[in-house]
Amino acid sequence: MTFLQGVSLFLLSQGISTIFGESPFYSLMRSTSTYIIIVGALVAYRYYHMTRNFVFFTCSTFGVFLCIGNLLQIYNNVHLEPGVLYRANGFMPHFNDLAIVPVLAPFMFTWGLAPALLAMLLGGSRNAILGSMVVLVFSTWRYRWYLLGGISSAFMFSHMYHPSGGFITRLGHWALATQMFWERPDIGFGPYTFVDHYFKAVTTYAKPYGVPLEMNYIPWAHSLYYELLSERGIFGFVAILLPLTLCFWHRNLAAATSAFLIMGIFDLTFLKPWVVVVYFFLLLLGLAEKEYECGMV
């Protein structure tokens, strides 16, 4: 599969789910940043000549600025989470968006990796820590698949018994997403429409499959897989994830892709532009790099 074929699959699933979804206007309106990012990815592909040093320098610089942003936020005591001394998100929209660090970490020099990991720890995101463990294990251990399964299981149980009830609240999100999927399993309800169904369910005090819902504003399913199944159906699920399964031909790329896929179990959403950027970044390195055979990663 080539990079252009991967982009075509994404666009095809996006277009079909949007046109035949329940709310085409809202899906299209909320997809604006996605289409802009796709244009950027196509431009990058068209003028593709990224050396290893260019990618590593860019990702490392991002890590340094991310750390500076977090430290400045803590120093100025701005937008920190109430009751937590240090939790910061820097210039990212939310603490959990520090999950971008594990995906970029395999493409960083040491001078950028250390500040990036510090920024991630200052963010306090459990999903980001999970992703970092995945990268570490995948890069160093022989029996990585068994260890990844153990880490994911431990992470799930840590969510279950966490004071905030993270895993328990996610059960409601996943139950509603499952209900949506079974109603329209082929092409789903349309991209970025989970929020509408969640709002409707909460206001009517619905309990999908008997599971209570978190009574807050929830714009996504808190699982990339449930999001794809409920909003794009089986077709979109396969069309979007299939290209990523081909991004395992190099250790660095495999570590980054594994972190992305495993963190997607518990969070990540294409509603966030950085997740879309990372998705096409992995495709560009995984599919275009092999196509051009530049030996970058």
Q: Is residue 263 part of a domain?
A: yes
The rounded distance, in Å, linking the Cα atoms of 84 and 87 is: 6
Cα dist from 278 to 8, 207, 271, whole Å: 17, 34, 13
pLDDT for 194 equals 95
**Which residue shows structure tokens 């890069």?**
139
Q: Is residue 235 part of a domain?
A: yes
pLDDT for 27 equals 94
Q: Is residue 261 part of a domain?
A: yes
**Which residue shows structure tokens 């463990």?**
133
Q: Is residue 55 part of a domain?
A: no
- Above 70 in pLDDT, residue 161? no
The parent domain of residue 211 ranges over 3-47+125-292
Lowest mean pLDDT among 20-24, 143-147, 221-225: 143-147
The rounded distance, in Å, linking the Cα atoms of 218 and 235 is: 25
Per-residue pLDDT averaged across 158-173, rounded? 62
| Percent of the chain predicted with pLDDT > 90 | 55
Would you tell me the crossing angle of helices 32-46 and 273-283 to the nearest 10 degrees?
Answer: 30
Q: Are 130 and 151 in contact (CB under 8 A)?
A: yes
pLDDT for 49 equals 75
pLDDT for 163 equals 45
Q: Is residue 32 part of a domain?
A: yes
What is the pTM for the complete model shown? 0.90
Per-residue pLDDT averaged across 138-147, rounded? 59
Over the stretch 176-208, which tens digit does the pLDDT of each residue have? 999 999 999 999 999 999 999 999 999 998 899
Domain total in the chain: 1
Q: Is residue 237 part of a domain?
A: yes
Q: Which residue has the higher pLDDT, 26 or 137?
A: 26
Q: Is residue 80 part of a domain?
A: no
Structure tokens at 64: 């340094």
Q: Is residue 264 part of a domain?
A: yes
Per-residue pLDDT averaged across 114-138, rounded? 85
Q: Can you say how many angstroms the Cα of residue 140 is from the centroid of all Cα atoms in its chain?
A: 23
Burial class (CB within 10 angstroms; exposed 0-12, middle 13-18, buried 19+) of 4? middle
pLDDT for 54 equals 87
